[in-house]
Structure 1
Amino acid sequence: MHDPHSERMSPVELKAAGGLSLVFAFRMLGMFMVLPVLATYGQDLAGSTPALIGLAIGAYGLTQAVLQIPFGMLSDRIGRRPVIYVGLLIFAAGAVLAANADSIWGVIAGRVLQGAGAISAAVMALMSDLTREQHRTKAMAMIGMSIGLSFAVAMVVGPLLTRAFGLSGLFWATAAMALLGILIIAGLVPRSAGPLQHRESGVARQALRATLRHGDLLRLDAGIFVLHAILMASFVALPISLVEQGGLPREEHWWVYLVAMLVGFFGMLPFIIYAEKKRQMKRVLTGAVLVLLFCELYFWQVGHSLMALVIGAILFFTAFNLLEASLPSLISKVSPAGGKGTAMGVYSTSQFLGAALGGILGGWLMQVGGLDGVFIGCALLCALWAIIAVTMREPPYVTSLRLPLSPTAMADAGLTERLLAVPGVADAVVVAEEAALYIKVDTEQLDRTSLERLVEPAPAC
């Protein structure tokens, strides 16, 4: 039996975290690989227009946004694995449909079906079932890293695969990755005892209303909505700009994205460290939004040569990577105790809705206003986000904990009030049906002795 309080992840936890991170990475790789190529290669499809290409780029976000939370709740009732298997099969079917399409409408239908395989919440919930409390943040960070890495790889591999095998070959590769994900779940990911009721990893109906009325959470939801809208809209215009303004054939775009992603990744790291160490998250977030605004104006006014476009892409992806990494951390800090799972569910839904709107809006702006129309539209969205970001309060620098409670502690009616009086405790809530305490603490100010004296842990099973 593995020591339940061990500081190291057990072999079972490592297998679960590694396997589920791979499943996430393959699925997101399949979703993202289309971005750098659809605006150029999509022009060869029957019936294609800039507006319809934009719709194809963002279409997956519509079904993903609508189905993600219901799929997560369904996995609480019928189990995680059936939902994940069905979701990956739907995703693969969408890829096959797009691979066999000879018109833009066929690709749109395939992308819509791909998005319907909305397994994100179920995968996160399975991760929670298979990891102990003290290691869950590490496991979730592994998934976050796999998503970031898959995006970077997709920017390079997408153009290379499409150059070698065409757009249909790209979608066939996507279908194969979804089926590989099923094999990983079946063969590598350990079995869990059953779904855990856990407010930090899934959407809790009880926390939904408070989440939707929380001002700073709504600001962050608006932020991820705008970020992914700008990303999708920019990918309607940037590949075409590289061809028309930069004179770079579409087969050679991969190296631009490779340079931009590599420099962008290392460029963001000092700002992430500064934001956390110096507790300046709001300043860094607002600064990154202003850099995005500058990038869109730069593409509009200056991006008329290959060198200018490469410099713009490096700045864009530095700001994008910084924001993509910072926003989930802010959601974790700002959400009420016991409300992180629900807050992340609403946040993810906002992200997918933003992707859908960005593709549709970018395509329409391209059709009516050309490249300038897209870059001006994105700049206006950035300006709106900058106004929203400035009004946000500096987030609390806290860590979320979930502590099992003994029957004696559960029976203590005044426990929450006494916990809130402990120095360093920012928020606390007792959830009776889980026999657990959700608490948010500032580790630099926490009086650990007082906390431990108040909370008598439940005996280990």
Structure 2
Amino acid sequence: MNYLSLIMAIRFLGLFIVLPLLAVYALKLQGASDTTIGIALGAYALSQMFLQVWFGKLSDKYGRKHIIAIGLIILALGSIVCAVSDNIWMLIFGRILQGAGAIGGVVLAYLNDLATEETRGKIFARMGQFIALSFAIAMVAGPILGAKYGVPFLFDITAGLAILAIILLYFKVPSAPEVEHFEESAKISEVIKNRELLKVYFSGFMQKGMMTIIFMITPLIFVNELGWEKMDLWKVYVPALVFGIFAMPFGAIMAEKKGKGKLVFILSAILMTSSVIAFLVHFYITGVVLFFIGFNMLEPILQSFTGKIARIHEKATAMSLGNSIQYSGIFLGGLIAGIVKQYFGYSALFYLILAIGILWIGSLFTMKEFKGFEIKEFSEFDDKMIEKLKNDENVYDLFIKEEILIVKYKR
């Protein structure tokens, strides 16, 4: 499972490493404007948004490994297109192609396949730590390597990392155990009826949308407005990320061990929304720090809570749908930020985000505290017992994993 988390981190490293400089680099391409720069930043999320669920369904049918490998190949091809782009529209096409390898939900479903109910929280927390580490590396390496060798070189690195991830996938990641459930394949219409899942999804949407906006405006403010050198941007991102890394285990412990998941969601939303207030009063570094603390507190429990709330036959669909919604946040965040900044300026953009952030915080106060389940395992069972359990109103979910009947009772 560590190798699967490593693959996820490698994939994100490739996507993260261009973020610190992409807005400044894209501004110099033919046809660039604030709006098209915002589109370029979020373009990979457009294809992710539409293809996540389909990749999830394909992985249910053909197996996780092969579908993940196909997605990584597409990421490599898209990165090569970005590297050779000489105008903004070719860069946008390359970013869309990068995102067409929409395997995030598949990897998360794979992790769920390998996890037990007891280890799921720890596994997703570890994955979050891997991703945070890749983020830290990207924030240092991106500005330095990009300033020295150019942003196209960073896209070449992304392509190489995708190939490395494929090698690890086939040589180090174990096959998932077979799981038998007793329901028809999940439908999206059924998944979105779960109100608690919708609140988790909206939090992911806001978190990723604000991330795109932060990565668009921060380099533009520091380089174009304050006169910083591009290679010095790591001095902003890395200290902020250090605070974020320390916040990550706090969020995981509070949510997973203390049963205070609702509090973590609310605190994260308050911190990320407060970062906008800091930008409004020109405390830019403080704003970046507040954002990363809130972002990293929320990141590991987003996927964990989706995996816990969704029933076994819904997991791949629920994970993929959650990722689609998060990627829609990335795309719309970049698009809206570009349009609002171009036509109305920074202040209008900050006030808009602040208003939406307040609505987000308000919605989280209506969230129910997740109480978990009482889990029982049976090594001996028959069809009559299964049928009785299926009709028991106290049973939330039941399935067979490695010849053991696992029953999750409501608390």
Q: TM-score, normalised by structure 2?
A: 0.88
| 1:395 partner SS | coil
Question: Whole-Å Cα distance in 1 between the matches of residues 400 and 114 of structure 2?
Answer: 22
CA distance in 2 between counterparts of 1:154 and 1:43 reads: 21
Name which of 373, 387, 390 aligns with 1:413: 387
1:189 to 173, 177, 184: 173
Give ranges in structure 2 of 5+ residues lacking alignment.
none
Residue of structure 1 in register with 2:15 after alignment: 31
Residue 60 of structure 1, aligned match among 41, 44, 63: 44
Equivalent residue for 2:202, pick from 222, 240, 247: 222
The answer to whether the 8 A contact 2:199-2:363 is kept is yes
The alpha-carbon distance between structure 1 residues 391 and 131, as it changes in their structure 2 partners (threshold 3 A), is: closer
**CA offsets per residue over residues 417-451 of structure 1, 9 Å max, x none?**
6693xxxxxx4334589984441566xxxxxxxxx
Task: Select the structure of larger CA radius of gyration.
Answer: 1
Q: For 2:264, which of 267, 270, 284 is the aligned residue?
A: 284
Whether 2:147 is the aligned partner of 1:172: answer: no
Task: Tell me: CA distance 1:136–1:394, structure 2 relative to 1, closer, same or farther (3 Å).
Answer: closer
Q: Does the aligned pair in 1 maintain the 2:30–2:86 contact within 8 Å?
A: yes
CA shift for structure 1 position 126: 4.4
Deviation at 1:55, TM superposition (A): 0.5
The answer as to 2:408 corresponding to 1:439 is yes
Between the two proteins, what is the percent identity of the paired residues? 34
Tell which has more relative contact order, 1 or 2 (C-alpha 8 A, sep 6+).
2
Give the 3 Å change call, closer, same or farther, for CA 95–80 of structure 1 in structure 2.
same
CA displacement, residues 51-77 of structure 1 (integer Å, 9 cap, x when unaligned): 111101111111112112211221233
| Shift in CA distance, 291/144, structure 1 to aligned 2, threshold 3 Å | closer
Q: Deviations over 1:322-346 (max 9, x none)?
A: 1223333433454457644443222
Which amino acid in structure 2 is aligned with residue 371 of structure 1? Y
Q: Does 1:344 align with 2:319?
A: yes
**CA shift at 1:287, angstroms?**
2.8
The equivalences for 1:315-334 within 5 A come to 315-334=290-309
Provide the rounded CA distance (Å) in 1 between the counterparts of 2:89 and 2:155.
Answer: 15
Distance in 2 of aligned mates of 1:369 and 1:288 = 28
Distance 1:432 1:48, change over 3 A: same
Q: Matches of 1:136 and 1:329 in 2, distance apart?
A: 7
Q: 2:250·2:297 contact (CA, 8 Å) conserved in 1?
A: no
Q: Render the CA deviation track for 1:102-142: whole Å, top value 9, x for unaligned.
A: 11111111110000111223334444566677656554444
After TM superposition, the structure 1 = structure 2 runs for residues 27-426 of structure 1, keeping only pairs within 5 Å, are 27-127=11-111, 138-190=122-174, 192=175, 196-197=178-179, 205-206=185-186, 208-267=188-247, 269-270=249-250, 272-276=252-256, 278-300=258-280, 302-303=281-282, 308-336=283-311, 339-396=314-371, 398-399=372-373, 403=377, 406-408=380-382, 410-416=384-390, 420=394
SS at match of 2:369: coil
Question: Residues of 2 paired with 1:128 and 1:345: CA distance?
Answer: 12
| Alpha-carbon distance in structure 1 between the residues aligned to 2:263 and 2:323 | 23
Shift of 1:244: 4.1
| Secondary structure in structure 2 of the residue aligned to 1:213 | coil
Q: Partners in 2 of 1:295 and 1:129 — Cα distance?
A: 36
The structural deviation recorded for 1:275 is: 4.8
Partners of 1:24 and 1:264 in 2: CA distance? 19
- Is the contact made by 1:337 and 1:438 (CA closer than 8 Å) also made in structure 2? no
Check the 8 A contact 1:233/1:374 in 2, yes or no: no
Change over 3 Å in CA distance of 1:71–1:337 after alignment to 2: closer
For residues 198 and 30 of structure 1, do their structure 2 counterparts lie closer, same or farther at Cα, with a shift above 3 Å needed?
Answer: farther
Separation in structure 1 between the aligned mates of residue 409 and residue 26 of structure 2, nearest angstrom: 48
Aligned 8 A contact 1:62 1:115 in 2? yes
1:361 is displaced (CA, Å) by: 1.0
Q: Match of 2:408, SS?
A: strand
Deviation digits for residues 17-48 of structure 1 (CA, Å, limit 9, x no counterpart): 23222221111111122222111122121111
When structure 1 is superposed on structure 2, of 118-127 and 17-26 the one drifting more is 118-127
Measure how far apart 1:187 and its partner are.
3.0
Question: For residues 269 and 76 of structure 1, what CA distance do their matches in structure 2 show?
Answer: 32
Task: Work out whether residues 234 and 362 of structure 1, in 8 Å CA contact, stay in contact via their aligned partners in 2.
Answer: no
2:396 pairs with one of 398, 413, 428: 428
Answer yes or no: is the 8 Å Cα contact 1:126–1:195 preserved in 2. Answer: no
Count of aligned pairs:
410
Distance in 2, Cα, partners of 1:440 & 1:155: 44
Structure 1 Cα separation of the partners of residues 180 and 156 of structure 2: 37
Instruction: Between 70-79 and 161-170, report the one with greater CA deviation.
Output: 70-79
Distance 2:297 2:354 in 1: 18
Q: CA deviation at 1:247?
A: 3.4
